[in-house]
Amino acid sequence: MLIRPKPKPNKPRKPTLSPTKIGTYLACRLKYKFTYIDKIARFYYRPKSYHSFGASLHRTLEEFHKEGGAETQSPEQLVEKLHTAWTSQGYASREEEQQRLGAAAELLENYHKEYLVEGVQTLFTEKQLKWDMGEFYLIGRLDRADEHPNGLLEIIDYKSGRMSVAEEEIRNDLAMNIYAYLASKCYPDRHVAATIYCLRSGEKATAEFTDEDLAEIEDGVLAIASDILQTDEDSDIEPEWIPNECPNCDFLRLCARRMQWEVAETPDSGMLSSSERTTRLSR
């Protein structure tokens, strides 16, 4: 009789944390559990126009840079790429969508004019960086990375909704800190800077990171990760009203049913009315 060896149990996959996951946890622990542990977001997610707008721009710029950027393509060709990449989900009307499409085309034409900087080369766009942090992998998807003549590696993050930015905001930005840290680990021979590029206005701000800055970022990530990784299927997290998060959260109705919050009905999303957005109603 042939005795088959028992299959070895699959080794648990090492968890991954990203700026989005960490930011979600810091904003609301229960939203993190619903999204990344219970994985029920697909049942509650509602398309949002600002998500579609930003995603369309990111896909357009990714293709633009893959094909050589402004050196090989005209502004008209860049706008053509926008029409190919455009996502229509989430807009309240055809008129709103067309208005946003026109705005996107205009800002891309301005982007084309301002893109070329002498001596600066784009190394990659829309690339995921990954670093082993021991108990987890830290990952981040970078919009763009440029190499400067002096060897500086500049991480660039596009913001489609913002009009202005300051250097201090970059230093306090979770995602930009993590991107800079990942870049320093994956490209240890480079000095790293991080830039936020406001696509609507063309305004930019840049912050360079020292070794001390990067060590502090690492300590902060490890500290919050130790809390996040304790969250599992058995974690019992009671809904808590968070004024800046709850009114526009996809899980609002789920929490409202559990806590018996009174939530106003609206024709589209069932969100709180404007007068109620900062008020937690009696249970």
H helical segments located in 172-259? 174-186, 211-228, 252-259
- The neighbouring-strand residues paired with 207 are 194
Question: Would residue 16 count as lying in a domain?
Answer: no
Note the pLDDT tens digit of each residue in 231-283.
999 999 999 999 999 999 999 999 999 998 887 654 344 444 333 433 333 33
Domain boundary among 64, 98, 115: 115
| Residues above pLDDT 90, as percent of the chain | 80
* 59 and 139 housed in the same domain: no
Q: Which of 11-25, 70-84, 131-145, 264-278 has the lowest mean pLDDT?
A: 264-278
Cα gap 274→272, rounded to integer Å: 6
What pLDDT does 11 receive? 64
Average per-residue pLDDT for the chain: 89
Residues 140 and 203 in one domain: yes
- Find the domain containing 63 and state its range: 46-115
> Are 156 and 255 within one domain?
no
Same domain as 151, residue 79: no
Q: What is the CATH number of the domain that holds 201?
A: 3.90.320.10
Tens digits of per-residue pLDDT, 169-193? Answer: 999 999 999 999 999 999 999 999 9
127 and 182 share one domain: yes
For residues 217 and 125, membership in a common domain is answered with: yes
> Under 8 Å CB-to-CB from 157, ≥6 apart: which residues?
142, 143, 175, 176, 179, 194, 195, 196, 197
Q: Does residue 145 sit within a domain?
A: yes
Domain assignment present for residue 256? The answer is yes
Are 99 and 137 in a shared domain?
Answer: no
Total domains in the fold of the chain: 3
* Per-residue pLDDT at 10: 64
Token digits for 245?
């998060």
